[in-house]
Structure formats: C-alpha cells, structure tokens
Structure 1
Amino acid sequence: MGAYKKLVLVSLLLALSIGSETIMLANGDNQGLCHMTKEGLKACQPSVSGQNPVPPSASCCSALSNADFQCLCIFKNSNLLNFYGINSTLAMELPSKCNQAQPHC
C-alpha cells in the first residue's frame, strides 16, 4: 500500500476513533467528509446499506451534488466502508440514481 493511502487510512481511522463530530474538516466552514455534511451522509445511508436499500431521497441527492467525488473515490475499495455497513458498489451508483455525472475513480 502506498504511503499516501496509508496516511489517508490512518487519518480517517483516527478521526473516527475520536468520534463522529470530529469528521468535520478543520477548515471551519462546517463541511463534512468530502464536502458532504453529516446530515447529508445520514440522508444517503439508507440507500447504501442493508439488505433492501431504498432509492436515494431528495436530501441525499442534494447533498451528493456538493460532494467531492475524487475525495470519495479514495474510499471506494476501503474495508472501512464495510465496517460501517456501507456497500461501496451501491455508494458508487448513487450519482447516476440522482441523475448526476458518474465519478471516474
């Protein structure tokens, strides 16, 4: 694993171990992980987890429209997503389900 990927993984694990509130970026503009707010991430959770995921809600799609997809691509093949019950395949399908451009990871 490359040094950059290790650094990203360690940083994310550290942030998650401190608590969900610390996922907010330190830049002070109240943006969450990859420019998705905590509320936006919660709005999308039912669409990317569980046995019967639901179609994304309008609030999920709205939050996704502000997302930094290159940032999110870092987590595409991460076991960390599975740990939180997020199906990465479903997560990568969200943009097209929200009628948005599919990210190129």
Structure 2
Amino acid sequence: MVIFCFEGSSRGLSLCNMNDEGIEACKASVSEPNPVDPSAECCSALAGADLECLCSYKDNPELPLLGIDPALAMALPAKCNLTTPANC
C-alpha cells in the first residue's frame, strides 16, 4: 500500500482497486500494536480488490514505515473469508 494511483478527483486515491475509504477501513487491522478484527467495510473493500496486486506489495520494505505490518496484511483475506491467491 505504498504506491497510490490517482483515478480522478471524484474517486480520490486507488490501490489495486481499493479506494481511499477501503484502505482507511482496513488500516486498523494491519497496524500494530493493537490490530483489530477487520470491519465489514474493510472486508467489503477487500472483496472488490485485486488481491494479486495487493500481494505484490507484501515484501515492500516501506510498509512498516507506513505503520503496516506485512504479516497482518497477508492474514486479512482469510479473516474476511476470502481466498488468498496461490502465488501470494
């Protein structure tokens, strides 16, 4: 969740088909020290996301600098009852 692509001012930021509201809804679930279970809004956003695209960020060394724990982020699809891509 390091690189954001602008998709027009009305939609704000987007990453792997997740808009800024979806990213924000999931942030508390992928941040230490006290991550929370994903909300319905987070899971809904994740269900519409390109999970293979999100997986491409799992080894990005900048994630911890942004407050994102890669292990928590990788566990999020399963917590939302989604299938993690095989190559992830």
- TM-score, normalized by length of structure 1? 0.72
The answer to which structure, 1 or 2, has the higher relative contact order (CA under 8 A, 6+ apart) is 2
The match for 2:28 is 46
The match for 2:84 is 102
After superposition, give the CA deviation of every residue in 1:75-97 in whole Å (9 maximum; x if it has no partner). Answer: 00111111101001100111110
The total of aligned residue pairs comes to: 84
What residue ranges of structure 2 are gaps of 5+ in the alignment? none
The match for 2:18 is 36
- TM-score, normalized by length of structure 2? 0.85
After superposition, give the CA deviation of every residue in 1:16-47 in whole Å (9 maximum; x if it has no partner). Answer: xxxxxxx3444x48371000010000000000
- Larger helix fraction of residues: 1
Q: Which amino acid aligns with 2:32?
A: G
Give the whole-Å Cα distance in 1 for the aligned partners of 2:31 and 2:85: 20
Alignment of 1:56-71 (within 5 A): 56-71=38-53
Task: Specify the SS of the correspondent of 1:95.
Answer: helix
Identity, in percent, stands at 49
CA RMSD of aligned residues (A): 1.9
2:73 maps to 1:73: no
- Larger strand fraction of residues: 2
What residue ranges of structure 1 are gaps of 5+ in the alignment? 1-8, 13-22
Give 1 or 2 for the bigger CA radius of gyration: 1
